[in-house]
């Protein structure tokens, strides 16, 4: 199963990793600078968070703890969504997790 979450805390991610068999948790870090996130924000949530209308918004008034050693790091500032998806598929194939 592939799931996508905003998981800002290392401890939460580590707990999920520990609950699975070795090698079953693949941490994919979509590395997107906050400026890129704000630029691509179709709902204007970052603008609302900066204006104080949304509290506890990751990266604005709530912390984000980036992964220390993700299995895969994707550069979302430089590549298209399609290119990033291709990187995930290639990684999973090379790791023997996808046929």
3, 4, 6, 7: the active-site residue: 7
CA-to-CA separations, 65 to 40, 60, 90, 99, in angstroms, rounded: 21, 13, 26, 33
Is 7 assigned a catalytic role? yes
Structural contact between residues 74 and 63, judged by C-beta atoms closer than 8 angstroms: no
**Residues 38, 68: Cα–Cα separation, whole Å:** 24
Q: Give the Cα separation of 64 and 57 in Å (integer).
A: 10
Q: Can you tell me the distance from the alpha carbon of 48 to that of 42, in angstroms, rounded to the nearest whole number?
A: 12
Q: Where in the sequence numbering do the catalytic residues fall?
A: 7
């Amino acid at each position: 199963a592939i799931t996508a979450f905003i998981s800002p805390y290392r401890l939460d991610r580590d707990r999920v990793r520990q609950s699975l068999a070795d090698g079953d948790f693949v941490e994919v870090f979509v590395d997107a600078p906050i400026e890129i996130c704000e630029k691509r924000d179709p709902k204007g949530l970052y603008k609302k968070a900066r204006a104080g209308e949304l509290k506890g918004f990751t990266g604005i008034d709530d912390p984000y703890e980036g992964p220390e050693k993700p299995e895969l790091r994707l550069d979302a500032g430089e590549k298209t969504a399609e290119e990033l998806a291709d990187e995930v598929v290639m990684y999973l194939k090379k790791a023997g997790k996808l046929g």
